[in-house]
Amino acid sequence: MTQPVSPLSEFSPPAAGFSVSDFASRVLGNVAAVMVGKEAVTRLALAGLLAGGHILLEDAPGTGKTMLARALAVSLGLGFKRVQFTPDLLPSDVTGVSVYQGGRFEFVPGPIFTGLLLADEINRATPKTQSALLEAMGEGQVSESGVTHRLPQPFVVVATQNPVEFEGTYRLPEAQLDRFLLRLSVGYPTEAQEAQMLARLQERHPIDTLEAVATPAELLAARQQVRGVQVHPELRGYIAALTARSRTHPQVALGGGPRASLALQGVAQALATLDGRAFVTPGDLKTAAPGVLGHRLSLHTEARLSGVSPESVVAQVLSEVPVPVEVPAQVAEATRP
C-alpha cells in the first residue's frame, strides 16, 4: 500500500515563459550571496539537483558544506531538515515510526519527509541507519510496517562527511556511495575570499535574510527540460568509453557502472542547460566526470597505499580516452553531395 505524503499538486506550476537559464542564474546569484568564491562547486551542486540526484559533500570542517546545502534549500524554496548522524541514531529516527493511537497504528513521518534533507556527518551513523536512506534515495519512498510512503517531490539528500577523521566512523558502502550522483569538495577559500567573507558576515549572516528565488515546481520543470538536452551519439560512446576505462584501469578494483554512465550524462545535460545550450559538449562531460566517477572508484590496496587518489585516476582516464572531435573520413562523408 502506498500513501502519498506530499503530492506534486501542492506546488503551483511555473510560469509559461519559464527559462532554465533564468532559473539557474537566479539560484546561483542567491547562493553566491552566502558562499563567497564558490561558484564552481555551487554550479555543480545545482547541476546535480537539476539532474535529479543526491549530493555528497566531502571536505574538512568549516569549509561551508552545511551552508551550501542550506543556501540551496532556501533559494529553491525547498523544505529543509537537518539530521546530525551519530552512532546511536536509529533508522526510525530518520524515516519515521508507527505509533499506536486511538486503537490503530499511525505513521509519524521522520525528518526524511522534506524537500532537502541534510545528512550531516553521514559516516558517523551505523551501516543500518545509513542503509535506511538507500530506499529513500533510490526509490523516493519509505517502507514502514509493510506500508510504503511516497516522499515529497522534489526530494534531495545532501550528505556531508569529513575526509580526515576516521575514528568512530563507518565508511559508506559502495552501494550507498553509488546512490549519490555527485561527490563534491567545497575547498578552502583564498585569503581574499576569506577576507571578503569576514566583511560580509560581520554584522549578520546572509543566510538569515536569504529568501527563496525559485519554487520546487520550477525545479521539477527544469529537470524535465534538462532531460531534453541533446546528447550526440558519439558523446554517448565517449561516456561509455570513460566508464569502461574506469573499470579496466590497472589501479582500480571496482570502477564505474552503468549508473555512473547515466549520472555522467545527466550532469552533463544539466551543465549544458546552465550554460544556455541545448546540446552537450565534451567539455561538459569532462567537468562532470571527477564529481561523478571519483567516489564510485574503489582502488586496489597497493594503489591506495602508494598515495593514488580516485581523482588522479579519473584525471588519467580523461587524458587517455580520445574525445570525438573531427575525423577526416567523417568530414569527407558529411560534405559528400
Partner 1 sequence: MSASGPVPRPRSNLRPWLGVLLPFTAFGLLPWWVCLTLSAALALGRLNEDARSIGVLLVLLAAVLVSAPLLLGRDPDRLNASGTLFAQAAVAGLLSFASSRALEGGQRRGLLLPAAAVLLFPAPGGLAALLLGGLSLRGAETGPPLRFQRTPGQSRRMLQALLGAVVLLTGGAALLSTVLPAATRQAVPAADLPRAAIRPAATPQETPLPTASPSAPRPVVRTAPTPLSGEDQGLLLRPLVPFTGLLIVVCLVLLLKRVRMKRATGRSTWADYAALAAMLGTLFMLGVLGAGAGPGGPLSGSAAQAAGLGGGEVGTRAASVASRQGPDWLAPLLNAGLIFSTLFFGVVAVYLYLALRNGPEKARSGPLASPEAADPALPPLHRVRLAWRRLETVLAASGLARLGSETPEEFAERLSLLLPAAAADLHVLTQLYLPVRYGGELSEAQATRAEAAEASVVQALRAGPA
Contact between 279 and partner 1 per CB under 8 A:
yes
Options 280, 288, 292, 314; binder of partner 1; rule CB under 8 A:
280
Helix, strand, or coil (residue 323):
coil
The reply to whether 88 sits near partner 1 by the rule CB under 8 A is no
Strand ranges (E), 121-164: 141-144, 147-150, 156-161
Instruction: Confirm or reject binding of residue 318 to partner 1 (CB under 8 A).
Output: yes
CA 195 to CA 201: how far, in whole Å? Answer: 10
Binding mask 210-249 for partner 1 (x = CB under 8 A): --------------------xxx--x--------------
Give the shortest CB-122-to-partner 1 separation in angstroms.
34
Residue 80: count other Cβ atoms within 10 Å of its Cβ. Answer: 19
CA 150 vs CA 134, 139, 181: distances in Å: 14, 9, 21
Taking the complex as a whole, the smallest distance from the CB of residue 254 to partner 1 amounts, in Å, to 23
Task: Say how far apart CA 94 and CA 84 lie, in whole Å.
Answer: 10
The count of residues in the chain is 337
Considering only the stretches 66-74, 164-172, 254-262, 320-328, report the one whose residues sit in contact with partner 1 under the rule CB under 8 A: 320-328
Query: ∠143-80-145 over CA atoms, to 5°?
Result: 15
Alpha-carbon distance of 142 to 140, in angstroms, equals 7
**Beta strand pairing call for 2-4 and 147-150:** parallel
> Could you say which residues in the range 286-315 bind partner 1, by CB under 8 A?
286
Q: Is 40 in the site for partner 1 (CB under 8 A)?
A: no
Q: Which stretch binds partner 1 (CB under 8 A): 9-17, 101-109, 114-122, 277-285?
A: 277-285
Closest to partner 1 by CB, 13 vs 276, is 276
Binding-site residue total for partner 1 (CB under 8 A)? 25
Q: Which residues pair with 2 in a beta bridge?
A: 148
**Site residues, partner 1 (CB under 8 A):** 230-232, 235, 277-283, 286, 318-323, 325-326, 328, 331-332, 334-335
